[in-house]
Amino acid sequence: MQPFTTLTAVAAPLDIAKLDTGMIVPGRFQRLPRRPGHNDYAHVFLHDLRFDEQEQPRAQFVLNQSAYQNAGILVTGPDFGCGSSRESAAYATLDFGVRALIGASFGDVYRGNCMQNGVLTIVLPPDIVNSLMRQLQSQPGTTMTVDLPQQTVTAPDGTQHNFDIDATRKERLLKGLDDVGVTLQYLPQIEAFEARYRTDMPWLKHLI
């Protein structure tokens, strides 16, 4: 996955509480294939909020407004990503171009899936999240900065807010490592073990 260090991007306010994974990616899109190097899930991110029954963009929805298009940061309502554990919700978030989510709370499984795919989720106190929402709503198209090494969020008004993150999650995001990537760091040792194993116990190949 792509490493995450410092991100400065347009931020959009998504002030909807308990927006679950079924809304992030509606069930009818669950079998959509995902190809390396393609943003296959970008179109289905928040699909039924972004588009009407005729597949026309809903003009009033925040992410369809010109000032917030190409947003790389979302400030979300509480419990964003609650509900079922579909990993496609994290795929869609990333494929849409969002690399950081800031909110008072997130669904636990969704948050883990986002971190595993290179999307940083930041939990801040509700009053700070509400302040960020107001600033983004009053200054459409403004940017925010997320600094993972320093663990800070810089608001549109320049105020910095510190956030906590698990040390292991932080290291993996900085290095761009998911679970497979962590395992592949030990590939020479794994290959050496397998070669030695085959040499010491050649009879095992007849049991496979």
Longest dimension (CA), the chain: 72
- Assigned token pair, 36: 């390396």
According to the 3-state scheme, what is the secondary structure of the chain? CCCCCEEEEEEEEECCCCCCHHHHCCHHHCCCCCCCCCCCCCCCCCHHHHECCCCCECCCCHHHCHHHCCCCEEEECCCECCCCCCCHHHHHHHHCCCCEEEECCECHHHHHHHHHCCCEEEECCHHHHHHHHHHHHHCCCCEEEEECCCCEEECCCCCEEECCCCHHHHHHHHHCCCHHHHHHCCHHHHHHHHHHHHHHCHHHHHHC
Mean pLDDT of 186-202: 67
Instruction: Tell me which residue has tokens 């810089």.
Output: 154
Contact status, residue 75 vs residue 133, Cβ threshold 8 Å: yes
Distance separating alpha carbons of residues 40 and 42, to the nearest angstrom: 6
- Assigned token pair, 70: 């190409």
Distance separating alpha carbons of residues 122 and 108, to the nearest angstrom: 12
Q: pLDDT of 27-80, one tens digit each?
A: 999 888 888 888 899 999 999 999 999 999 999 999 999 999 899 999 999 999
pLDDT value at residue 53:
94
pTM for the complete prediction? 0.87
Greater confidence (4 vs 206) lies with 4
pLDDT value at residue 199:
72
Q: Compute the mean pLDDT over every residue in the chain, rounded to the nearest whole number.
A: 91
pLDDT value at residue 14:
97
Q: pLDDT of 158-185, one tens digit each?
A: 999 999 999 999 999 999 987 666 655 6
Q: pLDDT of 87-139, one tens digit each?
A: 999 999 999 999 999 999 999 999 999 999 999 999 999 999 999 999 999 99
Distance separating alpha carbons of residues 89 and 22, to the nearest angstrom: 8
pLDDT value at residue 137:
97
Which residues fall within 8 angstroms of residue 23, CB to CB, at 6 or more apart?
46, 48, 49
